Amino acid sequence: MTRYTSATPDDRREMLDAIGVGSAAELFEQIPEPLRLGRPLALPDGMGEAEVYERLAALAERNADAEAQVCFVGAGMYDHYVPAIVDAITSRSEFLTPYTPYQPEISQGGLQVMFEFQTAMSELTGLPVSNAGLYEGPSSVASAGYLAMGATKRRRFVVSRGVHPHSRETLATYSVGYGAEVVEVGLEGGLTDAAALAEAVDGETAAVILQSPNFLGAVEDVEALGAAAKEHGALLIVACDPITLSVLKPPGECGADIALGEGQPLGNRLDFGGPSFGFFCATEAQIRRMPGRIAGETEDVDGRRGFVLALQTREQHIRREKATNNICTAQALNALGAMVHLAWLGRNGFRELGELLVQRTAYARERLAAVDGVELLHTSPVAREFAVRLDAPVEKVLDRVAERGIAAGYPLGREYPELEDGLLVAITERRTKAQIDELAEALGAAVAAEREGVAA
């Protein structure tokens, strides 16, 4: 008997008798003998709870997390403060342990959360329809591409190089499967090259895919760039950072057909990359092509207000090979975290947070640009993240700054070979003025030391 099972020897005896067999092994005789493992799994013996805790705590100690280091790394996931009520609410069994709400009468809590979440994401993006969540950001881009192919019967995507590299790579991976071509448009001064984009879009284009703020932190003029999509009947897909939608014009007001993105900045911890959720909003015209779960309002037989999974005829468990997507999950618990965070921020707090980030980012950008050996990679407007160039090898500078307990940013050379000297710096409300000043000082010292060849 393991800690999580309850069958005592007596229970087993009674159960085997009721079944009419002498041993549990007999039940496994339906497995042909050569396919039975016939030996114990080569895994360690089970451990007590305290031992497991100690073992995993020891591994956790070997990571430089955002409590051990001051974290200026962003690149799609951000070290925001997650309010305590998010943990309190998402750890409630009633939200933590049920399955997808297939029995709506006993799932009203989860379904109503989905409905509230959809409303919030619809408000943020300025688009009328939201689903209840997808896996995460990059695969949401690939799902949007799949939707655009179905909507336009075309097979070509024009994608800005400002879209997150993971999103572009995920889109490329999926495109090999569903048979689409991906055309990339470069950046100019930190922004999508508008002329090249207009050139690349034609009557075969299923969708134009942009990100704002883009990967280099620059706020794109989505409306202007999107005109090329409108002209040729392609869908306009915009990836966005939900936190910045507190201050930036929502994609829905810029002509976007689909707005989506990585949801982690809303109420989700970093978790070394997941689980988080992807949000996905669209125009009314796309509602029957949406991927994922959607909660809808309805009534019970007595006329009480209630919620159910709506439009299930889009989904795999009904439509099988004709489904609009294969996804089952809604990352419901992660979306709940986002909803609680947004309610905690509230209408005014959300706006204030966005403005705070813009102000501190502007300060940090100015402060770093004044450091010898550091210059701005672009001067386009930014919201919460910006890019600089270092006059010394970036990875080596990062190592030196790490010695002082600072994770200075994301080395752009990892994904953009043409930006080998680039560093992407992210700001959250946790990054104080003092920390920003220390970053500037540490970066300056590290660049200087590298230039002078001082041993690290």
Site for another protein in 375-434 (CB under 8 A): 381-383, 395, 398, 402, 407, 410, 429, 432-433
CA distances (Å), origin 430, targets 39, 82, 214, 332, 435: 52, 10, 22, 26, 9
> CB-based contacts of 340: which residues, under 8 Å, 6+ apart?
83, 85, 86, 89, 90, 267
- Residue 307 found at the interface with another protein (CB under 8 A): yes
Question: Rounded CA gap, 364 and 367, in Å?
Answer: 5
- Determine phi and psi for 454, rounding to 5 degrees: -70, 135
Distance (Å, whole) CA 333 – CA 271:
14
Q: Does 154 bind another protein (CB under 8 A)?
A: no
CA 157, CA 359: separation in Å to the nearest integer? 35
Nearest to 295, CA basis, from 262, 336, 255, 251 = 336
Q: Which residues between 30 and 89 bind another protein (CB under 8 A)? A: 30-32, 34-37, 40-47, 49, 52-53, 55-69, 71, 73, 75-77, 79, 83, 85, 87-89
Q: CA angle at residue 197 from 195 to 201, to 5 degrees?
A: 120
Backbone angles phi, psi at 293, to 5 degrees: -75, 145
Interface residue with another protein among 183, 194, 362, 445 (CB under 8 A) is: 362
Residues in contact with another protein, total (CB under 8 A)? 210
Q: How far is the CB of 266 from another protein (least distance, A)?
A: 11
Min separation Cβ 154 and another protein, Å: 15
Nearer to another protein, 154 or 360 (CB): 360
* DSSP bridge pairs for 278: 134, 262
CB of 407 to another protein, least distance (A): 7
Whole-number CA gyration radius for the chain: 25
Per CB under 8 A, does 442 bind another protein? no
Site string for another protein, 322-341 (x = CB under 8 A): xx-xxxxxxxxxx-x--xx-
Nearer to another protein by Cβ, of 28 and 186: the residue is 28
350 binds another protein, rule: CB under 8 A? yes
Quick note: the x/- pattern for another protein over 94-123, rule CB under 8 A, is xxxxxxxxxxxxxxxxx-xx-xx-xxx-xx
Least Å distance, CB 315 to another protein, is 8
Q: What is the nearest approach in angstroms of another protein to the Cβ of residue 66?
A: 4
Least distance in angstroms from the C-beta of 234 to another protein: 21
Nearest by Cα to 202 from 150, 238, 250, 154: 154
Query: Which of residues 208 and 245 has its CB atom nearest to another protein in the complex?
Result: 245
**Residue 455 Cβ vs another protein, minimum distance, rounded to whole Å:** 18
By CB under 8 A, which span of 199-207, 246-254, 386-394, 440-448 interacts with another protein?
A: 246-254
Please pick, from the candidates 342, 397, 419, 447, the single residue that binds another protein as defined by CB under 8 A: 342
From 182-190, 192-200, 297-305, 386-394, give the range in contact with another protein by CB under 8 A: 297-305
Residue nearer to another protein on the CB measure, 261 or 373: 261
Is the separation of the CB atoms in 166 and 138 below 8 Å? yes
Tokens read off for 16? 């085997």
First to last CA, the chain: 55
Footprint on residues 184-203 left by another protein (CB under 8 A): none
- Note whether 207 and 148 are within 8 A (CB): yes
